A and B are shown apart, each in its own frame.
Chain A
Amino acid sequence: MKGTLAAMRTITAPLVAVVLLLGCWQVAVMVADISPFLLPRPTVIAHSMWSNREVLFDATLSTATAALAGFALAALVGIIGGSVIAAVPVLRRSLYPLATILQMVPLVAVAPLLVIWLGFGLPTAIAASAVVAVFPVLASTIDGLRSVDPGLREVFLLAEAPPWTRWRKLDLPASIPAIVTGLRIAAGLAVIGAIVGEFVSGYGGSRAPLGIVVMTAMREARTELVFGAVALCAVVGFVLFGVVSTLGWLLLRRWHSSAQHELE
């Protein structure tokens, strides 16, 4: 009972803030008489979202699919690749600095290349999402694996555990806090990558994703629809981030201090 009450309070505070902000926006636009082309009122945006609900629903589904698939790909490649790089000294020396530097490269600029390789459509959006999201996972996996307590390593060394067993029972579980941090960053980036991928790969039709809806609405000067689509992009990001955070918390709550106060 106490937990539910605390959880309700956690949710209520930001909700009230959002409502207040929207209210201020509404009043400000009305008082200052700003053109709806520049900044439509929240009520207008809401109305437009409702009347375009079918298009927006399909678009959200498309973008969510791309972001989720890109995120999953990034997680898989990041964790496996990071484990291999951390395990092989030659790779660690050569590829680890590279992975850190590559994080600085604005990878969204690679998106047009992906169109050349994968064509116009969902695969490009997935690939763009994965490319942007993979490096935080890779870097945090390597960091996590490198900082496994050498004392615990010795416990496994004494038991003459083979490397694969040690990875499964020591290295991976010990790195989960770091990997979860990387995955949380990747969740946000995966949505950005997917939308950039959609911008450049421009696939339309009945299942046009949010990125395309944003572009089309902009060209048609329907600012309220741009806002609506952007809001749904944010929702996709929130949901993905929320799912990853919750899964991370479930994995860590029994032993890791980072999960002890998460829900307060």
Chain B
Amino acid sequence: MNSAPEVVCEALSRRFPNGVCALDKISFRVPSGGLTAIIGPSGCGKTTLLRIAARLDQSTEGQIRCVSRDGTPMLPRAGQLAVCFQEARLLPWRTALENVALPLELAGVDRAERRMRANRVIHAAGLDGAQQRMPAQLSGGMRMRVALARALVTQPSVLLLDEPCSSVDEFTRMQLDEEIRRLWQASGATTILVTHSVSEAVFLADTIIVMEHGRVHATHTVELPQGGRDRTSLAFSQEVEFIMRTLACAAGVARR
């Protein structure tokens, strides 16, 4: 039974002091345990949305909140909400293991337990053997895995992923996407994924929101089984094509 909250975004707006409107009355909901991908051009407000959800930024109007299963609103405590940023953001003076264990350390979990829990997610993220390596000794893809493991180590019920694969090559991205899918499914966390990649969105998400100029341009439900999505199948390419067309319309470059 999944106890992750539903994430509800209601008429959320964010206007910066310089007059730029990053978000313009955005509304959507991510069901408990679901994965919604937000896709759109650079500067469409995706990252601002995620930052407000993580409470690193504040909305000028509206709100984004978590509603638990029985309908009561909940404010996620530290550790219940985790963010994996675009960059790995690891502490360069700590080993991979110490980086992964950091959120537990800050939550006051004792040494033996945080070692055990960190090792468990490190194993799940495919990082066995890299525990004692420093971030500078890891490849870009490995660093992202460490960042992902760190986000998941507190077993969050809400997971925010901000273009986690934007800094790695296509090959590594596909491998990482498999990892993200496994880890997300195992965690049961309600997840928002911000991405540039259409195929990544189609591969991971139940729902894809296409954003443009701070508004929701289109919402699309991916009609593929969550278990065995195959990037090489016809159905997969059709989904990708559909989203591509939607993006082209949003960008005003669609030809009919």
Interface residues of A (CB under 8 A from B): 149, 151-152, 154-161, 165, 169-170, 173-174, 176, 254-257
Contact = CB atoms under 8 A, between A and B. Distances in A.
B134 A254 contact: yes
Contacts, number: 50
Nearest to B87: A151
Interface of B: 54, 56, 77-79, 81-83, 85, 87, 89, 91-93, 102-103, 105-107, 134-136
Given A156-B106, A160-B78, A255 B89 contact: no
Contacts of A160: 77-78, 106
B134 A255 contact: yes
Given A151-B85, A154-B56, A169-B102, 12 more contacts: A157-B56, A158-B82, A158-B83, A160-B77, A160-B106, A165-B106, A169-B105, A170-B91, A173-B93, A254-B134, A255-B92, A256-B93
A182 B25 CA distance: 50
Nearest to B106: A159
A180 to B, nearest CB: 13
Contacts of A254: 93, 134
Nearest to B55: A158
A161 B104 CA distance: 11
The 3 closest A-B pairs by CB, nearest first: A160-B78, A159-B106, A255-B93
A40 B54 CA distance: 73
A168 B91 CA distance: 13
B93 A159 contact: no
A155 to B, nearest CB: 5
Given A155-B102, A158-B78, A255-B134, A173 B91 contact: yes
B144 to A, nearest CB: 14
A159 B78 contact: yes
A152 B89 contact: yes
16 contacts: A149-B89, A155-B102, A157-B56, A158-B56, A159-B103, A159-B107, A165-B106, A169-B91, A169-B106, A176-B93, A254-B93, A254-B134, A255-B93, A255-B134, A256-B93, A257-B136
Contacts of A255: 92-93, 134-136
A255 B106 CA distance: 22
Contacts of B78: 158-160
Contacts of B134: 254-255
B101 to A, nearest CB: 12
